[in-house]
Amino acid sequence: MAISGLMRVMEKAARKAGQRLRRDFGEIEHLQVSRKGPADFVSKADQRSERTLYDELLAARPDWGFLLEEGGTIAGAEGKPRWVIDPLDGTTNFLHGIPHFAISIAVQEPKLDGSGWGEVTAGLVYQPVTDESFWAEKSRGAWLQDRRLRVSARRHLDESLIATGTPFLGRGDALEWAKIHAALAPQIAGVRRFGAASLDLAWVAAGRYEGFWESGLSPWDTAAGCLLVREAGGFVTDWRGRSLPICDAEVLAGNDALHSRLHKLLVGALKS
């Protein structure tokens, strides 16, 4: 399928920001032993990536708004979409020199009645180290570069690999997570925690995982990934089974065969 003008804009911005992140990532090993330490450098890398994305996307769509991880909400013209951006998802991985992080860009439309924000119509998750660009547009499917993506065809839980994000440093609900893990782990082939929710969702869309769950995320973590999974034939809901435009406070993603079974296990675990 021919890539649209909008997706070309998103791809160009992501690749430009990703080039800078790759250079910054190459400096991490030198900073690990510096007196100042790498944390301040990483925050600057995050901010530089966001600035590059903001400048590129603003130039292409000057009347659109933004929801930025670092910069917050920037209003656009009335009735226009907004960009939902995570300039560096997987910051802790980046900080430790682990080559698993991504840039996430999504387009969210305003509701027709003007009451807020509605559906996500385009999304891109770009992994600078592997140069993988996962993208989707509403009703046009999900893609990895020019290859069409489809969720995993596995139909049995005992063959399934499920990704998650674990609570840390007081973030997330440790008891809730433990209950869900206790219910799912005995039924499945494995659990993975790689530390970048946007990539976890992209990998569900690509069939590398059969599912993903996490709570306490933010819209920029999942906006593009939710669309990727849905356009690849999967499902994304919250714990109550609602298919929201962006599932972030509670996210359960799965392929078309296993999502309902994973949801049943999750609900049962949280009732116990």
DSSP string, 52-79: HHHHHHHHH-TT-EEEETTTEEE--STT
Q: How much is the pLDDT for 33?
A: 46
Q: What is the pLDDT of residues 75-96, one digit of tens each?
A: 999 999 999 999 999 988 998 8
Average pLDDT over residues 150-160: 97
Window from 4-8, 25-29, 172-176 with minimum mean pLDDT:
25-29
3-state helix, strand and coil shares in percent for the chain, rounded to the nearest 5:
40, 25, 35
- pLDDT of residue 201 exceeding 50, the answer is yes
Cα distance between residue 220 and residue 191, in whole Å: 24
Is pTM, for the whole model, over 0.85?
yes
The mean per-residue pLDDT over the stretch 89-117 comes to 93
Q: What value does the mean pLDDT of the chain take?
A: 93
pLDDT, greater one: 47 or 227: 227
All structural domains of the chain: 5-148 (3.30.540.10), 157-271 (3.40.190.80)
**CA–CA dist 107, 218 (Å, integer):** 15
Q: Would you place residue 37 in the very low, low, confident or very high pLDDT band (cuts 50, 70, 90)?
A: low
- The pLDDT value recorded for residue 167 is 87
Tell me what percent of the residues of the chain surpass a pLDDT of 70. 94
Tell whether the model's pLDDT for residue 5 goes beyond 90: yes
Place of tokens 């592997």: 130
